Amino acid sequence: MAKLRVAMAGCGLIARQHLEGYRRSGRAVVEALIDTKEENSAQFAKEVGGSPKIFNNLTKALEWGEFDAVDIMTPHDLHFDHALACMKANKHILLEKPMATNHRECEKLLTAGQDHVTQNKKVFMIGENAQYWPEVVKVKEIIDSGRIGDVYFAKASYWETKLSSPFMKDVDGSTHWGCDPSRVGGGILMNGSCHWLRPLRMWLGEVGEVVGTVSESAYEGMPAGYETQAQALLRFKNGKTACFHGMYASHALSDTPFFQVYGSKGEITIGGGFKGGVTVYDREHVNGESQGPALGYVESFPPEIEAFVSAVLDNKPLDADAMYCSGEPRIAWAIYRSLESKRFEKVVWDS
């Protein structure tokens, strides 16, 4: 296969980041665009260039079928059906997070995904860009080097304000799917929080149990009762702990670091705001030593897309398989259970 022929399903916000990834890869060509809103696919077609075929639903695109892979970037409640349809049509799949909005569909999709990989010999990758976030990868390297000693605790602070976030402009008004918990599968915990939970798992290990609370922050445009703030304590299977705080806001916010990782010999931070930057604090650098240029969150997308292209074209194993990627929604579901029980809840890995 010379170039990967891709159909992009869902021509919204995140499609722009994926497109940049395909461009930088240079080993993919966008053959089809799929969006129920024709104005969205028409506008995106101008940005894509060339002459991709445009479809207003996935079924019609799969009937045409002149592509190898589908990049699914539709609202969360459609992920399950869209992924199953692409499996049935024997296509390689990149599915944006979260893989499903509930436990039952997640388990079914994992089973179908396993068959897709082993029997159809096709790639089933879940899009979790934090796996490739340059600052997150850098922190992992520093931890593995032993520079901050034994890591015992971390704080993850996910915050987005409409005043500066590139991702929140579009989530406004009760008509957007992102404002509807039944379409999202919850609130902030089932949305951007996963990108802060993944790094914790990469650095500290697998999460065993969690307890949390959710509430409403000051965020204009969300319906009353929508969970725009969440906090949780995470206890890892190896005994380490972390705390997570996630918040959407419309007002100004300080530059709270996105991550603070504490070890027996020092601390590592990732700067807040999507600009990034890693700093190490240790005995020799009590005021901190910057670890090279800040690359930032959006630079996570090109390597994520390259990982997908390479999985198909070069047979390169995935950095995180679908089962591993179900970890973030499983953590969110355990936090939701803890709201009822008011105690630590185990992260459930089997049905």
Stretch that binds ligand NAD, among 22-30, 33-41, 237-245, 259-267 (CB under 6 A): 33-41
Q: What is the dihedral of CA 183, 131, 303, 300, to 10 degrees?
A: 70
93 near ligand NAD, judged by CB under 6 A: no
Among 7, 8, 30, 35, binds ligand NAD (CB under 6 A): 35
Residue 258 CB, nearest approach to ligand NAD (Å):
13
14 near ligand NAD, judged by CB under 6 A: yes
Among 4, 6, 8, 11, binds ligand NAD (CB under 6 A): 11
Site for ligand NAD in 173-202 (CB under 6 A): 191, 195
Give 170 or 220: the residue with its C-beta nearer to ligand NAD: 170
φ, ψ for residue 290, nearest 5 deg = -70, 140
Residue 150 CB, nearest approach to ligand NAD (Å):
31
12 near ligand NAD, judged by CB under 6 A: yes
Stretch that binds ligand NAD, among 11-19, 102-110, 148-156, 306-314 (CB under 6 A): 11-19
Residue ranges of alpha helices (H) inside the chain are: 13-25, 38-48, 58-64, 79-88, 103-118, 134-145, 181-184, 194-204, 301-313, 322-325, 327-341
CA angle at 107 for the pair 104 and 113, rounded to the nearest 5° = 140
Q: Which residues partner with 32 through β-bridges?
A: 7, 53
The count of other CB atoms within 10 Å of the CB of residue 349 is: 10
Among 19, 28, 33, 34, binds ligand NAD (CB under 6 A): 34
76 near ligand NAD, judged by CB under 6 A: yes
167 near ligand NAD, judged by CB under 6 A: yes
Q: For 257-275, give one letter per residue: b (16+ CB within 10 A) or e.
A: bbbbbbbeebbbbbbbbbe
- Residues 300, 71: Cα–Cα separation, whole Å: 16
104 exposure class (CB count in 10 Å sphere: 0-12, 13-18, 19+):
exposed
Q: How many residues bind ligand NAD (CB under 6 A)?
A: 25
Residue 61 CB, nearest approach to ligand NAD (Å):
9
97 near ligand NAD, judged by CB under 6 A: yes
10 near ligand NAD, judged by CB under 6 A: yes
36 near ligand NAD, judged by CB under 6 A: yes
Site for ligand NAD in 127-156 (CB under 6 A): 129
170 near ligand NAD, judged by CB under 6 A: yes
φ, ψ for residue 183, nearest 5 deg = -90, -30
Number of helices and strands (H, E) in the chain? Answer: 11, 15
Give 58 or 106: the residue with its C-beta nearer to ligand NAD: 58
- Residues 72, 34: Cα–Cα separation, whole Å: 9
Q: Are 272 and 294 in contact (CB under 8 A)?
A: no
- Residues 298, 22: Cα–Cα separation, whole Å: 14
Binding site for ligand NAD (CB under 6 A): 9-14, 34-37, 40, 57-58, 73-76, 78, 96-97, 129, 167, 170, 191, 195
